[in-house]
Amino acid sequence: MQRRDFLKAGLGAAIAGPLLLQPWQAHGDPPAGGAAADEGMPLGPQQPLVRSKLDPALDLTDAVTLETWVKAAPMEQGGGRILDKLIAGTSEGFTLDTYPGNSLRMITRKGSCSFDARLAADRWTHVAGVYSASGKMFALYLDGQQVAAVMDGDFPAMTTPRTPLTIGADPDGANLFHGRILRAAVYSRALTSEEIAQRFANPNTRLTGAVGEWTFPANPGKTIAPIHGALILMNTNWTPDVVGAVAGPENALALWYRKPAREWLEALPIGNGRIAAMVFGGVGTETLQLNEGTLWGGGPHNYDNPEGLAALPQIRQLVFEDKFHEAEELVNAKFMGKPAGQMPYQTVGNLKLTFADQENASEYRRDLDVSSARTHVQYRAGGVQYQREAFASAPDNVIVMRLTASKPGKIGFSVAFDSPQKTTSSSPDAHTIAIDGTSGDHGGVAGAVKFQALARVLAEGGRVHSEAGTLTVEGANAVTLLISIATSYKNYQDVSGDAAALALGYLDAAAKKPYERIRSAHVDDYQRMFRRVEIDLGTSPAAKLPTDERVVAFQNGQDPSLTALHFQFGRYLLISCSRPGNQPATLQGLWNHEMNPPWDSKYTININTEMNYWPAAPANLIECYEPLFDMIGEISVTGRHTAKTQYNANGWVTHHNTDAWRGTAPVDQVYSGMWPSGGMWLCKSFWDHYEFTGDEAALRRHYPIMKGAAEFFLDTLVEHPVQQYLVTNPSVSPEIPHAGGYICAGPTMDNQLLRDLFDACVAAAELFGEDADFAARVKATRARLAPDRVGKAGQLREWLDDWDMESPDMHNRHVSHLYGLFPSHQITRRGTPELFAAASKSLEIRGDDATGWSMGWKINLWARLEDGDHAHKLLAMLLTPQRTAPNLFDLHPPFQIDGNFGAVSGICEMLLQSHSQEIHLLPALPSAWPTGRIHGLRARPGAEIDLSWNNGKLASATIRSQHAGALRIRSAAPLSVTEHGRPVASSQDGDVIIFTAAKGGTYAVRPA
């Protein structure tokens, strides 16, 4: 997917200085106010996270100076934010941060100014970054001396995103800086070189223009007051005193914690496929951050660029002439969508409950029970035991919270909405509050989605009052709180729905039911899907620890039950964010607390959206596919317009991103956006669904869409002038540069995708006995595609030419050319041994360390290579604080849900594979799981499988066949098959046993 990462975060980076000793490095410890070595606030995992409130004083547009004194600890995963008011993944706002090697960088809308600083770990370094649009100044200073500057180009005014100033992290609490911070300041003007030198010499020098200046103690309290300026910082890690440790829940399928959430990445997610909340579990204040899946910025929009078609022949010619830079410039000028970015998924806002006299609590615990999709909070305060339960009900279309106490008359609180959207609040009746708004503008497209959220209190005893958008409850024995949210979004073309009528309808219907009935219907509905799969990988003493502590300790590999919990949590997330009739899972599933989240929390279809659905079939959640299938159908309509407008082609096309408005034109940058193959990869999910289910009726519905995707490429593939293959042009191997640039013709991944699409179309046409001429044309075109080939380093070549070893980014997180190994099965151990070895070599060259989602993909790849220990190594790297948040959300960083789903798929692949016309039992079992069992995995060609193993060897398997026909079962040891205790006739083909299954038959498989 597109990522403005540490090396691509800006447009005009200053070239790093030489690695010679600089004058500022010879000073020793600078005069940071006489600080001792162990003073200053620690930054990093499990350390204080300090930020401001949203404050207009930080809405700086012309100039800013960021200043700090830091010590930088080594950071294995790259760099981190020091002073940050930037939307992650963008240049909206400003930040002072480090990138790999603890080098220094400042980012504004201008781009980035960077310097190879190698910030020291053993002394305080004075750092300053200065930007001025009117003064045309962008510079970095170390210990009072300027070390880098950007002097050329435009100097645009800065934007003012609605994010706070965060110390040591980004707004999500990710991209953590590791080290210590002693002092910092933000100025609303550009300090001069003389002033910065003066501050280095004497930190107590007071200068004008300080929005805030602070000193940081080693153990900050709830707030940090400024020593200059007026901006107060808050320690978001501070929580009210919670004393008295309590044991965790008996249920092993629960995430649990001994303190309330301090950050969004510590809150617990609930969702019903349409609406969602993040539950913080606070004591004095409870926060539910709210989402509705159709609340997107902008409105119905056509991104197609009518100038693209005229430029296409020249672009192709430039690519064939190896004039890659010129081709990329022409694409940017004439072929990218209008606008060149798409719309963001946005938050509804928050519902906050404020409780009186509950700041000090004991016996606190909060948890998320993934076996029943409910969160719980319990604590004791003032001699009273308080409990809260929350869930998002799909049957009743509301979010529900139940509040109880051990003594009567003790439930009292006020509740109100707040939102970063433009909204109005009201009190429709004595028991209800409302918030109404419209989604935000973005990229020049006006916000068009109207929404309403309602909260209603159903109290047992006590008094309830509603006024001016605030509900007040006093002296109740118990309370049920119902939350309803709806929008005006009907589909990608129509936003004329009545949000208020929908929201009220859901609320009124639920309010007529007793709480226990709502709760029971929710649990039954959820468990109907969740209970299909059970997993047991063993346990250890670590299983008794809170979940956040288990993540910190997991790298020692002695917590197999955390792997099982992570697996089932991933299934919980997919059920909770992808239900029939709703939107598919975004980059963040259904959960997002920002107006402009990283990468807009869209659908990135050069890997991430597809990865979201890798577990749907093998993890037995087949109906979770439906929202994705609905979106593909809609994209096939908008994509026909793009195909005709920009390529003059039949069929349909989509590139690397889409949104709620189903944009299909190329967007963002050439290195990600100029890739016409997104539709092919999406169509693979149709064929996967058919292979796992044998559902011909579904395939019949999907076949016209698959055919349309193929028709586009039948019209647009062009002959390579040298190699004579038919190739895509222009294209990219997603986000990977070759020595000449990114743009290219016929990258390996495109050819692999074409083979899968063409083969599926031919097979479907033959199954249905139709489209013979079309199928013949597809076969002829397929025969002219370039084959996968081995390169000079023994690797699988990523491009037509053997450019891999000259790539300036050969360790990139993307492994697109290995699509043929997984999720496709064009490369297999027994079918294509030479390519299998080359794929393994490519994976070794790429390396293990990567972003969270990339590690998720690599787990699957190593499983397909049948190397269970290496797959488990990647899983262990994923389950660390650098790549997994305290609430088990995957971290790129920042949060991306695809890594969660990639890990679920990877565990399935380690235990069961069915891609080579056979069911392979325990193909990549790691030594870390010597004994275990799993129940209910799905396999091709339509079967459910139970497995158990002891001492690393298969003990038994059960196969429930959904279709009649021959089954081929591969195992490391000879097998026997019985049905109801009677032997089943079988034959042997090497390590494969073959028998004929009856539809609905259940077969026991054991070592012979």
DSSP states along 879-904: SSTTTB-TTS-BBSSSB-THHHHHHH
Q: Closest by alpha carbon to 177, among 26, 68, 259? A: 68
Distances (CA, A) of 715 to 77, 317, 638, 652, 710: 44, 17, 18, 11, 9
Structure tokens at 24: 């500022």
Give the pLDDT confidence of 923-982 residue by residue, as tens digits. 999 999 999 999 999 999 999 999 999 999 999 999 999 999 999 999 999 999 999 999
pTM of the model: 0.85
Give the chain's mean pLDDT: 93
Domain ranges of the chain: 41-235, 254-299+347-530, 316-337+625-787, 934-1007
Q: Closest by alpha carbon to 77, among 899, 896, 882? A: 882
Token pair 């899907």 in the structure block, residue: 529
What percent of the chain is predicted at pLDDT more than 90? Answer: 86
Dihedral angle computed from the Cα positions of residues 722, 724, 730 and 733, in that order, rounded to the nearest 10 degrees: -90
Output helix, strand, coil percentages for the chain, rounded to the nearest 5. Answer: 25, 30, 45
pLDDT of residue 686: 98
CATH architecture classification, 254-299+347-530: Distorted Sandwich (2.70)
Q: How confident is the model at residue 29 (pLDDT cuts 50, 70, 90)?
A: very low
CA distance 954 to 925: 10
pLDDT of residue 278: 98
What are all long-range contacts of 98-104, with beta carbons under 8 Å and residues at least 24 apart?
Answer: 98/72, 98/177, 99/6, 99/7, 99/9, 100/6, 100/75, 102/72, 102/74, 102/75, 103/16, 103/79, 104/129, 104/140, 104/142, 104/147, 104/148
Assigned CATH for 934-1007: 2.60.40.1180
pLDDT of residue 960: 98
For the chain, what is the total number of helices (H) and then of strands (E)? 18, 49
| Residue 301 near residue 287, CB atoms below 8 Å | no
pLDDT of residue 101: 65
pLDDT of residue 557: 66
Using omega within 30 degrees of 0 as the cis cutoff, is the peptide bond preceding 730 cis? yes
DSSP states along 74-122: --TT---EEEEEE-TTS-SEEEEEEETTTEEEEEETTEEEEE-----SS
970 has which bridge partners? Answer: 920, 992
Give the pLDDT confidence of 841-866 residue by residue, as tens digits. 999 999 999 999 999 999 999 999 99
CATH architecture classification, 316-337+625-787: Alpha/alpha barrel (1.50)
CA distance 715 to 779: 14
Q: Is the pLDDT of residue 236 over 70?
A: yes
435 has which bridge partners? Answer: 425, 453
Q: How confident is the model at residue 48 (pLDDT cuts 50, 70, 90)?
A: confident
Assigned CATH for 41-235: 2.60.120.200
Q: Closest by alpha carbon to 297, among 668, 665, 597? A: 597
pLDDT of residue 558: 80
